[in-house]
Amino acid sequence: MPRMTMIEAIRSAMDVAMGRDDDVVVFGEDVGFFGGVFRCTHGLQQKYGVSRCFDAPISESGIVGTAIGMAAYGLKPCVEIQFADYMYPAYDQIVSEAARLRYRSAGDFTCPMVIRMPTGGGIFGGQTHSQSPEALFTHVAGLKTIVPSNPYDAKGLLIAAIEDPDPVIFLEPKRLYNGPFDGHHDKPVTAWSKHALSEVPEGHYTVPLGQAVTRREGAAVSIIAYGTMVHVALAAAEDTGIDAEVIDLRTLVPLDLEAIVASVEKTGRCIVLHEATLTSGFGGELAALVQEHCFYHLEAPVMRVTGWDTPYPHAQEWDYFPGPARLGQALRDIMEAR
Amino acid sequence: MSSDEAGKAPATIQPLKFHVPQPASRPGEKPDFSDVVIPKAGSVARPPVDVDPKDIRDLAYSIIRVLNREGEAVGPWVPDLSPEDLVRGLRHMMTLRSFDARMQMAQRQGKTSFYMQHTGEEAVSCAFRIALGPHDMNFPTYRQAGLLIAHDYPLVDMMCQIYSNQRDPMKGRQLPVMYSSKENGFFSISGNLATQFVQAVGWAMASAIKNDTRIAAAWIGDGSTAESDFHAALVFASTYKAPVVLNVVNNQWAISTFQGIARGGSGTFAARGLGFGIPALRVDGNDYLAVYAVAQWAIERARRNLGPTLVEYVTYRAGAHSTSDDPSAYRPKHESDEWPLGDPLVRLKQHLIAIGAWSEERHKQAEAEILATVIAAQKEAESFGTLHSGGKPSARDIFEDVYAELPPHLRRQRQQIGV
């Protein structure tokens, strides 16, 4: 089976989807001739022509707005916002339009589209190239939100998203594009080629939306994570020697509640982990669900380990990033808590 | 019509075609600027600043030029600048170019994460700053550092920002080149595109509301004019006759995307102003004298309460978009050599030599002096640290300035990291 980086897997997903369905079109800033600033669409214009993969003006509201019109016509646009941090001009189109089109027209018009966005920090991108805005999408009824953590899932989930009948936000942790970064920023990152989940089938397959997966079995504490933080969680479990179970959510909406409940009922302890800011983050939702569904199994309060409630700083990136040291401390604390 | 018939064209009607504009040439092809029509220097009329905008619509489709191919300043737009002023302007541009070269190298040496050069566009921000008053406000993009350099903002402070070190005026929070200096009429750079363009209009409206005398200058690139904020800025500037100069720097490339993708079927970016009744000028952005003259005209209009002016600077981004970019993947390698408006430094130097105010020897000497100044500034800046070594901003600075006062939840989070 071929080995792929996350970038290659995402590209392969669009390639497969475009090859199978003439209605799939791909566009965004620098996406056409050049193939995207992260190279995710490299070669697609050459293969499928400028009518299927093309450069868009720098107008995120324009990109999403026209994609909605195309979806209403019957196409399946898969558009790229160059960085999730550039999404805000499109937010009105996403929230007020894409998310509600099916509902407000009683199914007369639908919006089968995917909006891809690189997300998260760890690349010294400062506050405009590092944000994790997933909670701004999970809070909106009508959207589905995906955050893959590895090449295999990225391809399978992206194909599933493109084939989904509703709008899907597909957040790509950019720090994972070229390797399974685990938060140890002072050590070299191993290449994806050395990781089992870089084995990616050439052709069509899907990873269904709404299914979490256990990345590490453990008995002591459950860590609920997604994207880059899955690898941070695995590293922290390794570093501390605490027998943590690591759940990779893969999709935030729809959410695999059963997987979370099963794990926390087993371990009795739960840490929710994300890179986004704490207050009103998706971790708040997860902690509430665990409290509602697992209260009588809990042996300690649910903890959240997240980015701070500040903009993402440039020089102090590693003081901001919730890496294995901060998570490791939380693991020790939650094991002592009674 | 039954659903089977819907969308199917009768035999007599041709199917529709999807149009995507393409640049004149791509890598491996011969650079081609034949579509850039360049009028002769001195050939465009200079109207009075209180002209009725509808009488100068042709200026949105021409290019105002002062320096001709022989380096002579010709025509009605020749500005009132002394040879000393021009030597000073040349030195500003040389400083910016030297600064760029050193900071580009520093990034390659790992002393910072990122840098953006101005190569080929130095005249635009350097000349504009000289035409502006000391208390006016720029809302710049990331490629107008000449606004700071031509206003004698300390190079050391700029470098400390780029290095995110312990003396970084932005306390390590901002990506390199995202400067801010209210005192120097330089609004904080966001990093998001076009957002600042409409804010400049608001600043100008405020100045009018308060019967102030200060004006604003908005800045945007060709590609970002596609953003909604650009169009909102034109509406508000037009409606309220805001005292603002709306600057569009058309450097031909938005990362890999040629300007035709943002411009579409409109002849020029300047012409975008016409539908709003905003007078629009196009100027040779590589001609220091022409940039100054046009800036002065637009600034005077704003100052005299005549309202906004849209100015398109026709220039060329000779370097990469940033240190993360490689233009050889999307445009011919030697395209910049073929750019018909030349190099702004070379052209001003040639003019100064032609009028007897400069020489090759003085130029060489100035180059050496400027390089020594920039290197000295760099040494001083590096004594306060670089991104990965030496003095650093504190982790405390992550939590300051989120609000005027540190709220309890941030105090708790700051305690968690022990600072």
Domain assignment present for residue B235? The answer is: yes
CB A206 within 8 A of CB A152: no
Gap from A61 CA to chain B (nearest CA, Å) = 7
Q: Look up residue A85 and give its amino acid.
A: D
Same domain, B298 and B414: no
* Cα Rg of chain A (Å, integer): 19
Burial classification of residue B247, based on how many CB atoms lie within 10 Å of its CB (0-12 exposed, 13-18 middle, 19 or more buried): buried
Of B178, B191, B409, Cβ closest to residue A309: B409
CA angle B64–B68–B70, rounded 5-degree value: 170
Gap from B42 CA to chain A (nearest CA, Å) = 34
Separation between Cα atoms, residue B8 and residue B201, nearest integer Å: 48
Phi, psi for A273 (deg, rounded to 5)? -125, 125
Average pLDDT rounded to a whole number, residues A69-93: 97
Beta pairing class for B216-221 and B244-250:
parallel
DSSP string, B28-65: TSPP--TTS--PPTT-S----TT--GGGGGGGGTS-B-
Beta pairing class for A114-119 and B216-221:
unpaired
Q: What is the pLDDT of residue B1?
A: 41
Of B165, B173, B193, Cβ closest to residue A313: B173
B135: domain range?
Answer: 53-321+334-388
Instruction: Locate B244 and state its tokens.
Output: 């603002």
User: Per-residue pLDDT for B94 more than 60?
Assistant: yes
> What's chain A's average pLDDT?
97
Strand, coil or helix: what is B343?
Answer: coil
Task: Identify the residue whose tokens are 């399978």.
Answer: A156
Gap from A289 CA to chain B (nearest CA, Å) = 23
**Cβ atoms within 10 Å, residue B155:** 23
Which residue among the candidates A42, A129, A185, A204 is catalytic per the annotation?
A: A129
Same domain, B410 and B268: no
Please report residues of A whose CB lies closer than 8 A to that of B393.
315-316
Q: What is the pLDDT of residue B8?
A: 65
Interface test with B, best of A27, A30, A58, A305 (most B CBs within 10 A): A58
Of A37, A126, A308, Cβ closest to residue B175: A126
**Cβ atoms within 10 Å, residue B195:** 16
* Cβ contact, residue pair A34, B330, below 8 Å: yes
| Counts for chain B of helices (H) and strands (E), in that order | 12, 7
% of chain A with per-residue pLDDT over 70? 100
Q: What is the pLDDT of residue B7?
A: 65
Domain assignment present for residue B25? The answer is: no
CB B204 within 8 A of CB B211: no
User: Per-residue pLDDT for B45 more than 60?
Assistant: yes
In sequence order, the β-bridge partners of residue A76 are A24
In sequence order, the β-bridge partners of residue B257 are B254
Q: What is the pLDDT of residue B5?
A: 54
Cα nearest neighbour of A322 on chain B: B417
8-state DSSP, B186: B
Gap from A128 CA to chain B (nearest CA, Å) = 6
**Partner B contacted by A42 (CB < 8 A):** no
Please report residues of B whose CB lies closer than 8 A to that of A89.
227-229
Strand locations in B173-288 (E): 216-221, 244-250, 253-254, 257-258, 280-284
ipTM of this complex? 0.89
% of chain B with per-residue pLDDT over 70? 98
Same domain, B313 and B399: no
Instruction: Locate B78 and state its tokens.
Output: 């020749």
> pLDDT-derived band of residue A338, with 50, 70 and 90 as boundaries?
confident
Interface test with A, best of B111, B198, B398 (most A CBs within 10 A): B398
Of 3.40.50.720, 3.40.50.920, 3.30.420.10, 3.90.1150.10, the CATH number of A213-336 is 3.40.50.920
Gap from A36 CA to chain B (nearest CA, Å) = 9
Separation between Cα atoms, residue B305 and residue A236, nearest integer Å: 63
The predicted-structure confidence for B308-323, as pLDDT tens digits, reads as follows: 999 999 999 999 999 9
Same domain, B274 and B399: no
Q: H-type helices in B109-183, by residue range? A: 122-131, 146-149, 155-163
Interface test with B, best of A127, A319, A327, A333 (most B CBs within 10 A): A319
Q: What are the domain boundaries of chain A?
A: 6-198, 213-336
Separation between Cα atoms, residue A209 and residue A158, nearest integer Å: 10
Separation between Cα atoms, residue B310 and residue A319, nearest integer Å: 44
DSSP string, B266-329: SS-SGGGGGGGT--EEEEETT-HHHHHHHHHHHHHHHHTT---EEEEEE----S-SSTT--GGG
Please report residues of A whose CB lies closer than 8 A to that of B20.
32, 50-51, 54-55
Phi, psi for A115 (deg, rounded to 5)? -115, 110
Domain assignment present for residue B16? The answer is: no
Beta pairing class for A213-216 and A221-225:
unpaired
**Cβ atoms within 10 Å, residue B379:** 11
Separation between Cα atoms, residue B399 and residue B100, nearest integer Å: 31
User: Per-residue pLDDT for A147 more than 70?
Assistant: yes
* Cβ contact, residue pair A59, B228, below 8 Å: yes
Domain assignment present for residue B106? The answer is: yes
* Cβ contact, residue pair A57, B223, below 8 Å: yes
Same domain, B403 and B263: no
* Cis omega (within 30 of 0) for bond into A188: no
Average pLDDT rounded to a whole number, residues A33-48: 98
**Cβ atoms within 10 Å, residue B389:** 12
Of B262, B324, B329, Cβ closest to residue A58: B262
* Cβ contact, residue pair B392, A51, below 8 Å: no
Average pLDDT rounded to a whole number, residues A11-33: 98
Domain CATH for B57: 3.40.50.970
Cα nearest neighbour of A316 on chain B: B395
Instruction: Locate B346 and state its tokens.
Output: 């070379």
Number of domains in chain B: 2
Same domain, B283 and B305: yes
Size of the A and B interface in Cβ pairs below 8 Å: 129
Strand order in the sheet with B216-221: B137-139, B216-221, B244-250, B309-314, B280-284
**Partner B contacted by A61 (CB < 8 A):** yes
Dihedral of alpha carbons A311, A313, A319, A321, sign = positive
> pLDDT-derived band of residue B42, with 50, 70 and 90 as boundaries?
very high
A293 assigned to active site: no
In sequence order, the β-bridge partners of residue B31 are none
Helix (H) or strand (E) holding A25: strand A24-28
Of A51, A58, A315, Cβ closest to residue B164: A315
Instruction: Locate B214 and state its tokens.
Output: 């200060």
Instruction: Locate B408 and state its tokens.
Output: 């309890």
Average pLDDT rounded to a whole number, residues B248-265: 96
Q: What is the pLDDT of residue B4?
A: 52
* Cα Rg of chain B (Å, integer): 23
The predicted-structure confidence for B113-136, as pLDDT tens digits, reads as follows: 999 999 999 999 999 999 999 999
Gap from B262 CA to chain A (nearest CA, Å) = 5
Same domain, B308 and B406: no
Q: Please, which contacts does B353-356 make with residues 24 or more away whose CB atoms are closer than 8 Å? A: B353/B71, B354/B70, B354/B71, B354/B72, B355/B73, B355/B83
Same domain, B138 and B213: yes
User: Per-residue pLDDT for B2 more than 90?
Assistant: no
8-state DSSP, A199: B
* Cβ contact, residue pair A58, B193, below 8 Å: yes
Instruction: Locate B93 and state its tokens.
Output: 């541009």
The predicted-structure confidence for B47-81, as pLDDT tens digits, reads as follows: 999 999 999 999 999 999 999 999 999 999 999 99
Q: What is the pLDDT of residue A87?
A: 98
**Partner B contacted by A257 (CB < 8 A):** no
**Partner B contacted by A288 (CB < 8 A):** no
CB B137 within 8 A of CB B187: yes
Of B223, B227, B330, Cβ closest to residue A89: B227
User: Per-residue pLDDT for A36 more than 50?
Assistant: yes
Q: Of B151, B138, B132, B57, which is closest to residue B291 (Cα–Cα)?
A: B132
Same domain, B248 and B123: yes
Strand, coil or helix: what is B348?
Answer: helix
* Cβ contact, residue pair B410, A309, below 8 Å: yes
Q: What is the pLDDT of residue B265?
A: 85
Domain assignment present for residue B370? The answer is: yes
User: Per-residue pLDDT for B259 more than 50?
Assistant: yes
CB B285 within 8 A of CB B291: yes
The predicted-structure confidence for A98-127, as pLDDT tens digits, reads as follows: 999 999 999 999 999 999 999 999 999 999
Q: Of A307, A10, A323, which is closest to residue A130 (Cα–Cα)?
A: A307
**Partner B contacted by A30 (CB < 8 A):** yes
Cβ contacts of A252 within 8 Å, gap of 6 or more = A134, A138, A145, A146, A147, A226, A282
Of B164, B190, B413, Cβ closest to residue A128: B190
Helix (H) or strand (E) holding A2: none
The hierarchical CATH code for the domain A6-198 is: 3.40.50.970
Gap from A89 CA to chain B (nearest CA, Å) = 8
